[in-house]
Amino acid sequence: MGDSNAPHHNYTMFKCFNRKFKASVAGPPPDVKDVFSKFAQGGDHMSIDQFRSFLVEHQGESAEALTISDAHTILLDFTTHHPGEAAHHKKHVGGLTLEDFFHFLFLEEFNSPIRRQVHHDMNAPISHYFIYTGHNSYLTGNQLSSDCSDVPIITALQKGVKVIELDLWPNSAKDDVQVYHGRTLTAPVTLIKCLKSIKEHAFDKSPYPVVITFEDHLTPNLQAKVAEMVIQTFGDTLYYPGAEDQMVEFPSPESLKNRVIISTKPPKECSESKSSKDKGGGRSSSEESGSDQEGEAINNANAAEAKSFQQSAPEYKRLITIHAGKPSGELRDALAVGDKVRRLSLSEQKLEKAAEDHGADVVRFTQKNVLRVYPKGTRFNSSNYEPHVGWMHGAQMVAFNMQGNDKYNWLMHGMFKANGGCGYLKKPDFLMYKGPNGEVFDPKKTLTVVKTLKVKVYMGNGWHLDFSRTHFDSFSPPDFYTKVFIVGVPADCGKFKTKIIEDDWIPVWDEEFTFPMTVPELAILRLEVREYNMSEKDGFGGQTCLPVSELKPGIKAVPLYDEKGEKLKSVKLLIRFQFENALSLTT
């Protein structure tokens, strides 16, 4: 009996199993059909003139910048590189069919959700910019036992990071300089290897300046050796003021194109750090990286070698463009704005306390000086923190563990997709505002809604190309849903999720979500696709983060990324973005 039924069961299972191989064919959503009909004026083809009108009136392209000739070039590009998707185009004689139009919308190269060019004013002092900043940039993994290497430095630079942090320590013979996380089991890498890799890859992503921040635990003699290494490695690429006095204003990113600059504490402060700590002063430079005990022996050595400072350290000090310091005594005093510009470093906890007690002072400080924020020392697994606390108060260097794969790292990558991904974002005007009586932006103040973003998630495609057929479910197609977040100042944060589309490789949601925003300049749209699983944790189907300030209106192809931030080859969402303006932001 069992044998005679076997073929029937096998055939039934095969049909069920085979079902998941085939991706359903999804046609254009109703909105896409309506837009096509509107611009094709009811016809079955969209002419080049009509196509240009669509790009300008619906997709947010500039009417001045996009000529008929440009529109023709875009269509030619489309049909040349995607001939199978525009087979009916026939050299534009008839124009685009609805099917062509639908395929066109799904191509990110023609329908990117954000602007790709550098378009911010790059001529203001560096203190007027948020800068893409790494923390312990040499670590390959956790903060306690991972290897130190130049590889994560190269990776960070290629992603657009513009501030690289190196912890400098003497080797065992005290005759060379190594980079590692002090008082841990991290295996060192030589400083010279890190410097050479920075030189080779500093401008892979953009020509704007790279800042190297040294956390210095060296004797004056080794500081002099560092100065020699830096000068020999970077040559004319290295920018430094040339005088020992601090600057009264920082240079601009534009004036520092293709240059490397150094930021660290002046040597005199390093040699005095032991005595200042004994007197109840601030944290040592090593504690800026999160450890409460690092550097004690080195500080003793510095004190012992104070006499050699005059002979060996001035060359090192001369190379410092951004003078760094530690908060000593009262935090409010450390935030005082003086004649000379400088950098101050605060841990994420100290920033939160400063924001709570002295928010206006922090904003005032960051209008002229540089504030660096770094992860607390207990983040042994290289996790990260909420970056918006720093950004809301004007902090230029919100330093992140770039090797982490957490959602905060996704947000950081998303924020710095803005301004062409060049690593420098001009701070919003309200953070630079200063009233006649010295009043500045108050991050605690409740602001009015100035802009509303509407996000309509139509559909998604590409999972069947990028994932194995059994990746999400062994016996049926996946059950996808999309989570839609706005992350920004507290008043603007919101989250929604679409319905679950069962058993479909090409899910169609066709749902719209509305986000009123008070500070859209700091808002990030976070999208995450999940695959519903009743018995286990929902599967991960891709994510992306996009700066709201850069979103282009219209129907866009939005590519998704994996958990490590690598772009998935085929997976995209089709989304419409619409903005409604309210009042202008006033301070």
Residues 575, 456: contact at Cβ < 8 Å? yes
Nearest to 207 by CA among 525, 424, 502: 424
Query: If 0-12 CB within 10 Å is exposed, 13-18 middle and 19+ buried, where does residue 494 land?
Result: middle
From 82, 89, 128, 181, active-site residue: 181
Instruction: State how far the Cα of 232 lies from the Cα of 267, in Å rounded to an integer.
Output: 20
CB 105 within 8 A of CB 574: yes
Structure tokens belonging to residue 380:
């042994």
Contacts of 577 (CB under 8 A, 6+ apart): 113, 453, 454, 455, 551, 552, 553, 554, 556
388 classed as catalytic: no
Amino acid code (one letter) for 29: P
d(C-alpha 214, C-alpha 216), whole Å: 6
From 135, 323, 358, 464, active-site residue: 135
Active site residue 201: no
| Strands 177-179 and 163-170, bridge-based pairing | antiparallel
In angstroms, what CA-CA distances link 470 with 9, 474, 531, 534, 563? 21, 5, 12, 16, 19
Angle (nearest 5°) at CA 550 between 547 and 389: 35
CB burial string 331-353: b at 16+ within 10 A, e below: beebbeeeeebbbbbbbbebbbe
- Active site residues per annotation: 135, 181
